[in-house]
Structure 1
């Protein structure tokens, strides 16, 4: 049963390019993780400045394995320092 992780964040002013760079690195690392089916980086049509990352995994276990990788954890830590507080991190199961 596929497992989906969705992150929506807004870079701090002046950190837009850095956040995009870090998200691209994170996206590449996650995509190379066993059990990751596909990943996407996305922007909305509006001018909110938000950026989103979607990853689809074979299972929750595959997603957890990727999330606990030290390189991925380091990238996520860097991202958290460059984005506005209150970003969204959600996970979904297919039904």
Structure 2
């Protein structure tokens, strides 16, 4: 995602809170906040869970959903959240 101009610090703060909240949920194995080495201004979040069910439980938590909603308002249009599962 790319934060809107002037919202970079707030977006990163909320992503850190989201990361901490997700890490506290059962099944979250590891989590990362990442930036590329270029000057794009993008930031990414990756969390790995024990199972799809654990990930879904976390994603549907009201606190997690509230943080994601706040973050969505701070990023450039076109941002989508995606989930990947093993095949």
* TM-score scaled by length of structure 1: 0.87
| CA-atom RMSD in angstroms | 0.9
Provide the residue aligned with 2:77 in structure 1. 85
Equivalent residue, structure 2, for 1:22: 14
- Count how many residue pairs are aligned between Structure 1 and Structure 2: 87
Structure 1 unaligned residues grouped into runs of 5+: 1-8
| Larger RCO, structure (CA 8 Å, separation 6 or more) | 1
Give the equivalent residue in structure 1 for 2:4: 12
Give runs of aligned pairs for residues 67-78 of structure 1, distance below 5 A.
67-78=59-70
TM-score (norm 2): 0.95
Runs of 5+ unmatched residues, structure 2: none
Moved over 4 A (4+): none
